[in-house]
Amino acid sequence: MLFALLAGGACGVSDDERPLAQLPIEQRREAPDFNLEGLDGGTVRLSDLRGKTVVIDFWATWCLPCEFQVPVLNAFWDAHKEDEDIEVLGVSVDYAGSDVVAKWVDAKGVRYKVLLGGEDVARSFGATGFPTLYMVGPDGSVESQHAGLIEAADLEAALRRQRGGGPG
């Protein structure tokens, strides 16, 4: 069972996985807005981040592949945290509460902002398993999506494409 989860790279992802690639214009849609509490005590409303590229990773403490996503997102955040036009959000789908999530975040060394969501928020985006990552453009539209583990090079290439820098 563990091998199957690791081989698949995600918890409960369906067969419609696609690489983090720019979605065709006709498939883009406005990202569902949310207002979620962060582990830092503040709240984040997605619509307040218009003008920025927002990377949203939906994950869970009970999802083993999700922990392998953390180093990639930490590296991406570290490379771009000085860029005022980029935000990285990890949205926990756990219902166990902030204490459980905070312990996991601390143990895994997460450095980007973590929000307390739920599966309903992830499903509003169209997530079918975890981890699932979305890149929301400055105009608020979902420009890219990826189910399962992501490679750092794919994430950087998607950012370059989103910024008009070509195929990456």
* Residues of the chain above pLDDT 90, percent: 71
Q: With bands split at pLDDT 50, 70 and 90, how would you rate the model's confidence at 7?
A: very low
Query: pTM of this prediction?
Result: 0.86
- What is the DSSP track for the chain? -HHHHHHHTSBS--TT---SEEPPGGG--BPPP-EEEETTS-EEEGGGGTTSEEEEEEE-TT-HHHHHHHHHHHHHHHHHTT-TTEEEEEEE--SS-HHHHHHHHHHHT--SEEEE--HHHHHHHT--SBSEEEEE-TTSBEEEEEES---HHHHHHHHHHHTT----
Q: Which of 25-29, 59-63, 82-86 has the lowest mean pLDDT?
A: 25-29
Q: Where are the domains of the chain?
A: 2-162
Residue range 58-68, pLDDT digits in tens? 999 999 999 99
Average pLDDT, the chain: 87
Amino acid in the structure at residue 148: G
Give the pair of three-digit tokens for residue 21: 């690639």
Residue range 109-158, pLDDT digits in tens? 999 999 999 999 999 999 989 999 999 999 999 988 899 999 999 999 88
H/E segment holding residue 54: strand 53-59
Give the pLDDT score at 163: 82
Question: Which CATH code fits 2-162?
Answer: 3.40.30.10
Give the pLDDT score at 162: 81
